[in-house]
Amino acid sequence: MSADNESRAERIRRLLETEGPTVKQNAQGFNEGRYAAMADVDGERLRTEAREIKEDAIERLPELIETVRECVEANGGTVSLADDAADANEHIAEVCGDADSLVKSKSMTTEELDVNEHLAARGIDVTETDLGEFVLQVADEAPSHLIAPGFHKSTDEIADLFNARFDPAEPLETPEGLTAFARDHLGERIRDADVGMTGANFVLAESGTLALVTNEGNARKCAVTPDTHVAVAGVEKLIPSVDELGPMIELLARSATGQDIAQYVSLLTPPTDSPTIDFDSEEPIGGGAEDREFHLVLVDNGRFEMREDEDLKETLYCVRCGACSNSCANFQHVGGHAFGGETYTGGIATGWEAGTGGEASDGTDAGSISPASVEFNDLCTGCSRCVNACPVKIDVPWINTVVRDRRNRGADPSGIESLADGLVPDSESAGMDWGKRAFGNIDTLARLGSATAPVSNWLADSAPARALLERGLGIDARRDLPEFRRETLRDWDQRRTPGVASPLTDREAVLVPDVFTNHVDVDRGKAAVRTLEALGVPVRVADVTGTGRAPFSQGMIATAREKAEAVADALAPHLNVTGTAGERFRLADGSEASVNAGRDLVFVEPSDLAMVRAEYDKLLPAEQAENLADGSFEVLEYVYGLLENGVDPAPLTRGDGEELTYHAHCQQRTLGLDAHTEAVLGRLGYDVATTEAECCGMAGSFGYKADYYDLSVAVGESLAAEVEAADGAGEGANDDTDRRVVASGTSCEEQLTDLLDRPATHPVELLDPARGPTSE
């Protein structure tokens, strides 16, 4: 999908400039529409029902295939189960026979199979009839979105394309004119076609009914106008009956485009009568159902292998709504021509391309690596917004991580044994570049950096070192590097005198420092400790740093599992403190108090908390993961809980009306914790304006990588512009009017500090009693 000899960074820069503005407008429009449409229904209930339906259908897939075969054949049609693309295309060619023309609608699966090319080689004229697909067919381009394949093109671009290709009597300029031209042109093709081809959103096994959900209506025209109708669908489209259709229809349009329901929801149980009328003679064209042919081609093409793969299986639950794309900040800026493979786009594309992409683009055996999944997989940063957007709750980031891990180890992304069988770290680096190794082992580098600071900081920032880091590790020289502190947070904690004068009798906290808090931004760690102790909670800093988020983000699952096991072992004793006497805790005045409850695990960095709450269940035994998740809190979430339970906030620094612009970390939002920070800051007297931009674009190591630096900055600039608009910063503005910028995550702080040229602050630092005098 890229130009010859174009590097990944060059392609991203080109797409940011050319397709980016239109993609952003359309994707964000769909996403905002989804928020509004889902607010009108019980989305959580519907999503749970929809997932259960898909889980059941995939589990019963062989049974459903036999059921639909019996029903379709009883109706007078035929069913073929195609093993792969070549097999499917042979079935389709047999159906077409000596046909001269075929019209198509609503069939992403045929893109996967390259049906158009196969039929064209046999002399059959194929016309796409959905507007987006038709535009791309005329432009000879690949899709850029699952449901809106041509949404990267503006009205002007489509007009130029049509005017050049069709030379109309009057130039086409407006959306209405373009639509009218396409309707007339395609209507004629549909009327004259020998064969009609559709896909299906769902296939109801019990009756052989096809459910087609569209906004244009061409799918049902293609299905009922020609005398022969062939439907091509992946086997995953089967659901048992019409009884399961309700939640799917409720969710599909809402998730895809923000509509309450699509313009057309057609239920066809073919062969069907043709209602096409010749308006000149007022006579119907074509015969009744008994004169028509129907053929259903169900496609495997790797899906049954995916069904047996516990880590890719969820991909088959996908209903192709595109919500994972629309909710993704990276996709919103570059679209599917960067964030996608030969057929599928967006976050879920990794699973589809790995599971169905058995050959390289030149037709040769792809061997152990799926070319498509290699090309775009790293554009998923694991922020997890797509999980909340998905109508069937697919864990899209986990699928991307799994494929990344398999690629790193040089294994087949679609065919190895389950990762649950256990892997050793030595096996995960066969295909891994040095940059990933470095980012995945950042805790080791950070320990070395702190041990040799400030020399390490001076050396790393020198011109020769930056050039070497960019050339060898892919770290962009334009990105400021973090500065390591000689005294780490854990060093400070071991040397300090605890500051609790009057502890709560039933709470004690263990601060679990992430790598950044321990080695770089030590001040925010100190602020967290002092804040909790000022509220009467004894605090100790855990003797383990990080949760395994860094290797996990690079697809180093075995290393992440080892780290998770070490963290679990180190933190388990804190969760299991029991008895009324137990351990004695030393207070600031030298006295001691007893601690008689399990300790709470408190995290400053939301991505580390998300690792414990959302990822450890994939890396650790279920009970162990559950215990850690239940005992873990984000620091402002924890403060909120203390205040809600009657703890006096008087020791904390007050805001006295100070204006703040607050940006919540992606994973803090997906965990539903951003409101806690807003509430605490508001209670302490700050005037808080929360950003609407959902992503800063930094995403941990992503923003450091030369391949993605320009995309990272482009995403961040949207956020920076919002901050500047809020405080009036910009040309001619007085710096004194700038609102303080507050951000909950390391990435957010770094990105905003770079783009705004002023520091962003973690919210816990505002609460720190050490900042200055407090007031009511």
Q: How far is 126 from 196, CA to CA, in rounded Å?
A: 10
Mean pLDDT for 642-659 is 93
pLDDT at residue 290 in the model: 62
Nearest CA among 667, 696, 681 for reference residue 740: 681
Q: Which of 221-225, 353-357, 487-491, 617-621 has the lowest mean pLDDT?
A: 353-357
Output the six-digit token pair for 177. Answer: 């004119």
Output the six-digit token pair for 645. Answer: 């339970």
Q: How far is 440 from 408, CA to CA, in rounded Å?
A: 12
Mean pLDDT for 96-105 is 95
Mean pLDDT for 335-348 is 93
Q: Which of 163-167, 491-495, 730-734 has the lowest mean pLDDT?
A: 730-734
Mean pLDDT for 759-772 is 92
In this structure, are residues 372 and 379 in contact, taking their beta carbons and an 8 Å threshold? no
Residue 418 has pLDDT above 60, yes or no: no
pLDDT at residue 765 in the model: 97
pLDDT at residue 410 in the model: 76
Q: How confident is the model at residue 350 (pLDDT cuts 50, 70, 90)?
A: very high
Residue 628 has pLDDT above 60, yes or no: yes
* Helix/strand/coil (H/E/C) assignment for every residue in 216-251: CCHHHHHHHCCCEEEEEEEHHHEECCHHHHHHHHHH
Radius of gyration over every alpha carbon of the chain, rounded to an integer in angstroms: 29
| Residues contacting residue 46 through CB under 8 Å, at least 6 positions apart | 247, 250, 251, 391
Q: How far is 549 from 556, CA to CA, in rounded Å?
A: 10
Q: How confident is the model at residue 281 (pLDDT cuts 50, 70, 90)?
A: low
pLDDT at residue 363 in the model: 36
pLDDT at residue 495 in the model: 93
**692-750 pLDDT, tens per residue?**
998 999 999 999 999 999 999 999 999 999 999 988 644 444 455 789 999 999 999 99
User: 365 to each of 116, 350, 360, how far by Cα in Å?
Assistant: 22, 19, 6
Residue 394 has pLDDT above 70, yes or no: yes
In this structure, are residues 412 and 368 in contact, taking their beta carbons and an 8 Å threshold? yes
In the sheet that holds 209-214, the strands lie side by side as 238-239, 202-204, 209-214, 264-268
**What rounded mean pLDDT belongs to the chain?**
88
Nearest CA among 138, 126, 134 for reference residue 102: 126
Output the six-digit token pair for 536. Answer: 């009467």
Q: What is the pTM of this model?
A: 0.90
User: 467 to each of 476, 480, 487, how far by Cα in Å?
Assistant: 9, 13, 28
User: 207 to each of 60, 73, 106, how far by Cα in Å?
Assistant: 16, 11, 21
Residue 118 has pLDDT above 90, yes or no: yes
Q: What is the domain partition of the chain in residue ranges? A: 49-149+194-301, 489-771
Fold (topology level) of 49-149+194-301 = Rossmann fold (3.40.50)
pLDDT at residue 397 in the model: 97
Q: How far is 709 from 16, CA to CA, in rounded Å?
A: 12
Mean pLDDT for 177-181 is 91
Q: Which of 89-103, 429-443, 444-458 has the lowest mean pLDDT?
A: 429-443
| Residues contacting residue 752 through CB under 8 Å, at least 6 positions apart | 663, 696, 716, 719, 720, 723, 741, 743, 760
Helices and strands, number each (H, E), in the chain: 37, 21
Output the six-digit token pair for 120. Answer: 């064209």
Residue 169 has pLDDT above 70, yes or no: yes
Q: What is the DSSP string of 505-538?
A: SS--EEEE--HHHHHT-HHHHHHHHHHHHHTT--
Q: How confident is the model at residue 498 (pLDDT cuts 50, 70, 90)?
A: confident
Taking the chain, what is the end-to-end CA distance rounded to the nearest angstrom?
61
Residues in the chain: 776
The neighbouring-strand residues paired with 101 are 125
User: Residue holding tokens 């990588």?
Assistant: 705
Q: How far is 513 from 601, CA to CA, in rounded Å?
A: 10
User: 263 to each of 215, 218, 352, how far by Cα in Å?
Assistant: 5, 11, 27
| Residues contacting residue 721 through CB under 8 Å, at least 6 positions apart | none
**215-249 pLDDT, tens per residue?**
988 899 999 999 999 999 999 999 999 999 999 99
Mean pLDDT for 355-370 is 48
Helices (H), 115-260: 115-121, 131-139, 155-166, 175-192, 218-224, 245-256
**If residue 584 lies in a helix (H) or strand (E), which one and from where to where?**
strand 584-586
Between 62 and 361, residue with greater pLDDT: 62
- The b-or-e profile of 65-94 (16+ CB within 10 A means b, else e) is bebbbebbeebebebbbbeebebbbebbbe
Residue 129 has pLDDT above 50, yes or no: yes
Q: How confident is the model at residue 366 (pLDDT cuts 50, 70, 90)?
A: very low
The neighbouring-strand residues paired with 705 are 475
Residue 315 has pLDDT above 50, yes or no: yes
Residue 665 has pLDDT above 60, yes or no: yes
CB atoms closer than 10 angstroms to residue 184? 9
pLDDT at residue 421 in the model: 37
Q: Which of 150-154, 589-593, 753-757 has the lowest mean pLDDT?
A: 589-593
